[in-house]
Amino acid sequence: AENWVFTVTAQTPTNIAVIKYWGKRDEDLILPINDSISVTLDPDHLCTTTSVAVSPDFTHDRMWLNGKEVSLSGGRYQNCLRELRSRASDVEDEKKGIKITKKDWEKLHVHVVSYNNFPTAAGLASSAAGLACLVFSLAKLMNVKEDHSRLSAIARQGSGSACRSLYGGFVKWIMGKEENGSDSIAVQLTDEKHWDDLVIIIAVVSSKQKETSSTSGMRDTVETSMLVEHRAKEVVPKRIIQMEEAIKNRDFPAFARLTCADSNQFHAVCLDTLPPIFYMNDTSHRIISYVEKWNRFEGTPQVAYTFDAGPNAVLISHNRKAAAQLLQRLLFFFPPQSDTDLSSYVIGDKTILQ
């Protein structure tokens, strides 16, 4: 029977960096200029669900994102597909009469259907979850026999930050030394159970799509910023060691100080770029000032903030009580749909999947 379809579905949450990746040393392979560390979010709140299918009836590789067809012709998709196809193995399902040999994968085409359970245009890292999920589901479909770290090196070529979404809990992306990128992989530092009282609240400051893509922003920064080299060579290596220690010891004050400082330095490096990149807006700045004041008043950090390539605040509380207090205060000082342009809150615990 020729008309079979073989499908696999997977779900992958997004991740938020607490020590940021910003700057590539190789744009094609997506090799970073420094290590980074992230926390993987709860799949109930911000995740991608992807179904992939293969059938002898398919004539092209095709993909639909949130119901709309998107092109797979971009170099990054092509790199991921090529890497996966070259590692595919035999697949056999006697009941359904499916038999695909390693060689068949070179000619067979795939269809990909992907949904984000959050608005793609909300400026919330959607490419991390999306590319990680695409690579993970295709690897399952093609019976690729490689561990999560090896798969992370493939997801990395789709979107740098995606490599960290292959694991839950706290994850480190090791920049690596090799020119071919074989050692630029993600490793899990601790699983999702290790520090499970952390609560993450995302304040959606603006749902507009970012003006400067991370790709062009990073390129401009690496070409023009004088601060970025200092950051990558002198600052981040020390922070990575301190952050690993803070996570291991569940030391919230150290964790919060490092997270906030690293977010601020990332945005300082953006400002040091020509032309300068402004990802945060007035509301973002007011949230930072508010959290700083609160932490100072308490004498020890209650909340950490971090901002990616957009104005939305990711706020990390050390437990549920602090999170409830934070949300109460946010709703009071930054009511959604008021004169501030805050539109909503997303609340999630950090977690894992797969």
Q: How far is CA 344 from CA 67, 143, 295, in A?
A: 24, 40, 23
Provide the residue type at 152 as one letter: S
Give the β-pairing of 68-70 and 6-13: unpaired
Calculate the dihedral angle through the C-alpha atoms of 66, 71, 72, 74, rounding to the nearest 10 degrees: -120
First to last CA, the chain: 32
SS3 112: strand
Q: How far is the CB of 74 from ligand PMV (least distance, A)?
A: 13
Which C-beta is closer to ligand PMV: that of 195 or that of 279?
279
Q: How far is CA 181 from CA 31, 158, 237, 249, in A?
A: 7, 13, 19, 31
- The Cα–Cα gap between 166 and 15 comes to 10
Q: How far is the CB of 83 from ligand PMV (least distance, A)?
A: 17
Q: How far is the CB of 19 from ligand PMV (least distance, A)?
A: 8
Which C-beta is closer to ligand PMV: that of 88 or that of 134?
134
- The Cα–Cα gap between 61 and 174 comes to 31
Which C-beta is closer to ligand PMV: that of 160 or that of 311?
160
Residue with tokens 């706020």: 315
Q: How far is the CB of 220 from ligand PMV (least distance, A)?
A: 13
Which C-beta is closer to ligand PMV: that of 63 or that of 314?
314
Q: How far is the CB of 20 from ligand PMV (least distance, A)?
A: 4
Q: Per DSSP, which regions of 62-185 are E strands?
A: 62-65, 68-70, 91-93, 98-100, 109-116, 170-173
Which C-beta is closer to ligand PMV: that of 85 or that of 239?
239
b (16+ CB within 10 A) / e for 95-104: eeebebeeee
Which C-beta is closer to ligand PMV: that of 152 or that of 302?
152
Q: How far is the CB of 84 from ligand PMV (least distance, A)?
A: 19
Enclosing H/E stretch for 44 = none
Which C-beta is closer to ligand PMV: that of 21 or that of 334?
21
Count Cβ atoms below 10 Å from residue 22 Cβ, excluding itself.
29
- The Cα–Cα gap between 286 and 293 comes to 11
Q: Which residues bind ligand PMV (CB under 6 A)?
A: 17, 20-22, 36, 125, 127, 159-161, 214-215, 308-309
Which C-beta is closer to ligand PMV: that of 22 or that of 252?
22
Q: How far is the CB of 268 from ligand PMV (least distance, A)?
A: 13
Q: How far is the CB of 242 from ligand PMV (least distance, A)?
A: 17
Q: Exposed, middle or buried: residue 275 (CB in 10 Å: 0-12, 13-18, 19+)?
A: exposed
Q: How far is the CB of 309 from ligand PMV (least distance, A)?
A: 4
Which C-beta is closer to ligand PMV: that of 149 or that of 215?
215
